[in-house]
Chains A and B, each alone.
Chain A
Amino acid sequence: DVQLVESGGGLVKPGGSLRLSCAASGFTFSTYTMNWVRQAPGKGLEWVSSISGSSSYIYYADSVKGRFTISRDNAKNSLCLQMNSLSAEDTAVYYCAGGPDIGAAINGCDTWGQGTMVTVSS
């Protein structure tokens, strides 16, 4: 079965850091562009970052640029998001999601994890 499993969420103080991970299985991970999408409590979906299958193309939302770093390890079928300088506005469920590589472009996401909650509070 195709599966994405996020981990690493939790409670962190403002200004703190957190590292999210996503373990993939059931598909050829290296051929998928992977994304992080977040959803604040009671709100809509917000794209955070994308990384192409070979890591050649990396994109960030303006709201996280300079604070978050996306990376992947195709040998381990894993995706990571390093989050620094966190604020209350980063509180959300973070979803790992992916779609087939289409070069430098970002594809729609046909595979989603169940999400991991990040709460930024003192």
Chain B
Amino acid sequence: EVVLTQSPGTLSLSPGERAALSCRASQSVSSSFLAWYQQKPGQAPRLLIYGASSRATGIPDRFSGSGSGTDFTLTISRLEPEDFAVYYCQQYGDSPPITFGGGTQVEIK
């Protein structure tokens, strides 16, 4: 089973600042099968990034994903008020189980 470790656990930033969220895998993950989700309180998760770097439909271009192997990053170039939320990385693909990272909370400083 691939264990995903997200860091930091909490990121305190101001609107307009840049956020960089890390997701580290316990073993190599195919870049084709790494996703990022955003979840706000009381809401379902929303797909932001799939295939490590492809934005899902309707996702603003301030969100970008990068990385390969065991190290992946979600970057939010300029935080908007609606971006303060919890973010999860996920690995999927042809070797279940699917696993999620523990999440990074991006909070207003």
Contacts and interface: CB of A to CB of B under 8 A. Distances in A.
Interface in A48-100: 50, 59, 61-62, 95, 97
Interface residues of A, number: 24
A113 B46 CA distance: 10
A47 B98 contact: yes
> Which of B39, B44, B97, B102 lies at the interface centre, i.e. has the most chain A CB atoms within 10 A of its CB?
B44
B84 interface: no
B97 A114 contact: no
A1 interface: no
A110 B51 CA distance: 12
A61 B100 contact: no
A11 interface: no
Give the interface size class of chain B. Answer: 20 to 34
A104 B47 CA distance: 21
A37 B47 CA distance: 14
Nearest to A35: B98
B63 interface: no
B47 A110 contact: yes
A15 interface: no
A103 B32 CA distance: 14
Contacts of B47: 108-110
B96 A106 contact: yes
A112 interface: yes
Nearest to B96: A59
A14 to B, nearest CB: 25
A112 B88 contact: no
B42 to A, nearest CB: 9
Interface of B: 33, 35, 37, 39, 43-47, 50, 56-57, 88, 90, 92-94, 96-103
Given A105-B33, A109-B37, A115-B44, 8 more contacts: A45-B103, A50-B96, A95-B44, A108-B35, A108-B50, A108-B90, A110-B57, A113-B44
